[in-house]
Amino acid sequence: MTQLTPVLSAHWDEADSFTIEGYKRHGGYKAVEKALAMQPDDVIAMVKESGLRGRGGAGFPTGMKWSFIPQGDNKEHYLVVNADESEPGTCKDMPLLMANPHVLIEGMIIASYAIRANYAFVYIRGEVTHVVRRVQQAIEDAYKAGLLGKNVLGKGFDLELVLHIGAGAYICGEETALLDSLEGFRGQPRLRPPFPAIAGLYARPTVVNNVESIASVPAIIANGIEWFQSMGTEKSKGFTLYSLSGHVTNPGQFEAPLGITLRELLELAGGVRAGHQIKFWTPGGSSTPMFTADHLDIPLDYEGVAAAGSMLGTKALQIFDETTCVVRAALRWTEFYKHESCGKCTPCREGTWWLVQMLHDLEDGKGTEEDLAKLLDLCDNIAGRSFCALADGAVAPIISSLKYFRDEYLAHQRNGGCPFDPIASTKFVTAGI
């Protein structure tokens, strides 16, 4: 049985875990002292060697990303933290920032020092007022403590840190759209190349990292590479936050070594809710192709999930039991992608618009066998044809649900509509309305 490894979440049960005092009580801001005594390149090397990979979904090695920043180029460098967490099912960064914003700030100071950035931004989604308050307060307190601003900790390093608050656009989680948004434009993805490491924010070398990735850095600096590598699997090192939601007895956050399985996590969460069986689940948010009960023992690391035909993504494990209609689920996700399509490219803008109509017809029992072929062909004309990965994510639930539950789509036609009782899937079904 894999043991849980609370690191980022280690003190969330303390009433003041989000304050600077609460953070410092457990060794907070010690790692930054250590890092600032090192050469910046050594910090990069250490993070690189640790094997830390991006926790925002793509899994790109964090240290390598830092090393792409050209040094000695006489240009401003920027660090931008992606706290736009909006992928359906994903709910790890917001509780992290609410309960422990200082670990992010400490990580940002270290990362900025390493890449020689004197300006850093947190781009946080705008629909989380209280998380915004916590991060804003933490930044203010860090300034007061001499951890930000001119001459950080008296080490001659300057860092301005600005909290930038979004306003409702999932696409801004895509790093180039995020940069455009931060520059004051519509959040639409940019052409690459140039990559952000060469021309990012204000066309300057920029590192964009996920909250959890940066928040993991202080522990690596403090405890060392070996400690970090003692957790996880061969190519997926360290600990991470797994978020269980949906039809489980006890949903919540589980910080565990990479490679834990859903079977193990479900056991920790008290299993699928009483009297029900798992039907399908997402490994890392709605854009990662869904799995079924046949996939409970897949190691939840980057390689394991990919080998099974999906993606680790944000480790957002959404569990649905047999009361859930998969057509309804796919339709809702498709509606989400239609709502969030930025409009820039044809396949995503027009494709999601069309997909929603087709799925509505299917849900209403108006779809035929031929319509399923058309639906799949349409997915084929959208996936891999669009400007960014949003549309790939949009078709993932459709294609994967058709793969496992094709007959359920057709059952809607036979039944003249959805054969499921929507109330049966609700959390309060037993409690009454």
Site for another protein in 226-245 (CB under 8 A): 242-245
Q: Which one of the spans 30-38, 52-60, 61-69, 372-380 is the region binding another protein (CB under 8 A)? A: 372-380
Site for another protein in 252-311 (CB under 8 A): 252-256, 267-270, 286
DSSP letter string, 308-336: TTS--TT-EEEEEETTS-HHHHHHHHHHH
Q: Minimum Å distance from CB 143 to another protein?
A: 12
Q: Looking at beta carbons only, is 37 or 373 nearer to another protein?
A: 373
Residues 11-40 touching another protein, rule: CB under 8 A, are: 12-19
Q: Does 402 bind another protein (CB under 8 A)?
A: no
Residue from 380, 403, 416, 419 touching another protein (CB under 8 A): that is 380
Least distance to another protein from the beta carbon of 98, Å? 6
Site residues (CB under 8 A) for another protein, limited to 183-202: 183-187, 191, 202
Closest CA to 52 of 242, 200, 209: 209
Q: Count CB-CB contacts under 10 A for residue 25.
A: 13
Determine if 413 is a binding residue for another protein (CB under 8 A): no
Instruction: Note whether 110 and 217 are within 8 A (CB).
Output: yes
Among 32-40, 216-224, 303-311, 330-338, which window interacts with another protein (CB under 8 A)? 330-338
Backbone angles phi and psi of 251, in degrees to 5: -70, 160
The number of angstroms, rounded, from the C-alpha of 25 to the middle of its chain's C-alpha atoms is 28
Site string for another protein, 96-115 (x = CB under 8 A): --xx----------------
**Is 346 among the residues that bind another protein (CB under 8 A)?**
yes
Q: Is 87 in the site for another protein (CB under 8 A)?
A: yes
CA end-to-end distance (rounded Å), the chain:
39
The smaller minimum CB distance to another protein, of residues 291 and 387, is found at 387
349 CB burial (10 A radius; 0-12, 13-18, 19+): middle
Looking at 46-54, 166-174, 225-233, 405-413, which segment touches another protein (CB under 8 A)? 166-174
The set of residues, in sequence order, having a beta carbon less than 8 Å from that of 249 and lying 6+ positions away, is 269, 270, 271, 272, 273, 274
Cβ 369 to another protein shortest distance, Å: 15
Tokens 């894999």 -> residue: 2
Query: Phi then psi for 129, rounded to 5 degrees?
Result: -55, -45
**Binding to another protein (CB under 8 A): which residues in 45-74?**
none
Of residues 117 through 146, those in contact with another protein by CB under 8 A are 119, 125-130, 132-134, 136-137, 140
Among the listed residues 22, 271, 264, the one whose alpha carbon sits nearest the alpha carbon of residue 141: 22
Contact 219, 11 (CB under 8 A): no
Identity of the residue, 73 or 380, whose beta carbon is nearer to another protein in the bound complex: 380
> By CB under 8 A, is residue 86 in contact with another protein?
yes
User: For another protein, which stretch binds (CB under 8 A), given 24-32, 44-52, 102-110, 251-259?
Assistant: 251-259
Cα distance between residue 58 and residue 224, in whole Å: 24
Cβ closer to another protein: 19 or 236?
Answer: 19
Instruction: Considering the complex, state which of residue 187 and residue 283 has its C-beta at the smaller distance from another protein.
Output: 187
> What is the spatial distance between Cα 325 and Cα 254, in angstroms, rounded to a whole number?
27
- Residue 338 found at the interface with another protein (CB under 8 A): yes
With binding defined as CB under 8 A, does residue 369 bind another protein?
A: no
Pairwise CA distance, residues 155 & 142, whole Å: 15
Please choose, out of 55-63, 216-224, 292-300, 347-355, the segment that lies near another protein by the rule CB under 8 A.
347-355
Residue 237 CA to residue 230 CA, distance in Å, equals 8
8 Å CB contact between 284 and 313: yes
Is residue 216 at the binding interface for another protein, with CB under 8 A as the rule? Answer: no
Report the C-alpha gap between 349 and 25 in whole angstroms.
Answer: 50
Shortest gap between Cβ of 70 and another protein (angstroms)?
Answer: 19
Q: Are 298 and 281 in contact (CB under 8 A)?
A: no
Should residue 207 be labelled a site residue for another protein when binding is judged by CB under 8 A? no
**Cβ count within 10 A of residue 127:** 13
Q: Please identify which residue in 320, 404, 405, 409 interacts with another protein, judged by CB under 8 A.
A: 320
